[in-house]
């Protein structure tokens, strides 16, 4: 490996599974000390064990990013323990499913408390820590934030909000060397998408909608996030990068 994050301290939310876990593993391979955050301790510990077995450095912190005080304390604590704070990946998300007519106010708000509020709280805390030396913040949106998705209005609205919040944060952080960018996945094979990929027919129907003909893997996103976190992206901020096999680039595909 090229050790693109050697000596850096990075915190990844939603790091117990899926995109977050793949990102934590990839960061550790490139030399970062990785702080993995999530609500459930067991999957976090499993990823930490995998990183350490490969010779990397990592620790797990159980925290719900929708808890402002707890999440802010986790970021500040990571900086205090390791003496610096270089990279934040706001990956944790939550969603509700249902028609607009049947969506309760509580369900609507549940889409925002993790995805939007958590991203705001994390970014605010990270920017304070990064102000002297700079750093990189990568926020994870979704194709649902670009294209209307029936029965996922709250999730779609929250993921759209992340995009423009990130642009505003990029504008504010630029003079301090703080870069803020967004990656936009479509269908990625994670526990959250297990239902839509539950059998061969469902998978093939999904793959027909993707120009590259395959469902994304967590590692596809992790590699893009790594690039945006590294010095190779030192002149990139405020960017919104689709990592979706071409899904957002087309209206329809030939079946």
- Catalytic residue numbers, as ranges: 155
Segment (H or E) for 181: strand 178-185
Segment (H or E) for 132: none
98 conformational bin, left if phi > 0, alpha if psi -120 to 50, beta if neither: left
Read off the tokens for 156: 């779609």
From first CA to last CA, the distance across the chain in angstroms is: 39
Q: Cα 6 to chain center, whole Å? A: 21
39 conformational bin, left if phi > 0, alpha if psi -120 to 50, beta if neither: alpha
Is 216 strand, coil or helix? strand
Integer angstrom CA distances of residue 228 from 65, 76, 108, 158: 22, 22, 31, 22
Identify whether the C-beta of residue 185 lies closer than 8 Å to the C-beta of residue 142.
yes
Instruction: Say which residues have a Cβ less than 8 Å from residue 216's Cβ, sequence separation at least 6.
Output: 185, 186, 187, 188, 189, 243, 244, 245
Rounded CA gap, 234 and 181, in Å? 11
């Amino acid at each position: 490996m090229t050790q693109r994050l050697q000596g850096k301290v990075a915190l990844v939310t939603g790091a117990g599974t899926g995109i977050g876990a793949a990102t934590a593993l990839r960061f550790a391979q490139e030399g970062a000390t990785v702080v993995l955050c999530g609500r459930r301790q067991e999957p976090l510990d499993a990823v930490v064990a995998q990183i350490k077995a490969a010779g990397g450095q990592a620790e797990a912190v159980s925290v719900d990013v929708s808890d402002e005080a707890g999440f802010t304390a986790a970021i500040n604590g990571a900086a205090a323990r390791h003496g610096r704070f270089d990279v934040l990946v706001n990956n944790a998300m939550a969603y509700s499913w249902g028609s607009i007519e049947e969506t309760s106010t509580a369900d609507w708000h549940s889409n925002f408390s993790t995805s939007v509020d958590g991203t705001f709280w994390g970014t605010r805390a990270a920017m304070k820590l990064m102000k002297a030396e700079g750093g990189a913040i990568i926020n994870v949106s979704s194709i649902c934030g670009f294209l209307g998705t029936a029965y996922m209005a709250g999730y779609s609205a929250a993921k759209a909000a992340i995009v423009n919040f990130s642009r505003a944060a990029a504008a504010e952080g630029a003079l301090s060397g703080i870069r803020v960018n967004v990656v936009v996945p479509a269908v990625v094979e994670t526990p959250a998408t297990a239902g839509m990929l539950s059998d061969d027919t469902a998978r093939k129907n999904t793959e027909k909608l993707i120009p590259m003909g395959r469902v994304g893997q967590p590692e596809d996103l992790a590699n893009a996030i790594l690039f945006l976190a590294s010095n190779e992206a030192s002149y990139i901020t405020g960017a919104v990068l689709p990592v979706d096999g071409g899904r957002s680039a087309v209206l329809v595909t030939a079946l």
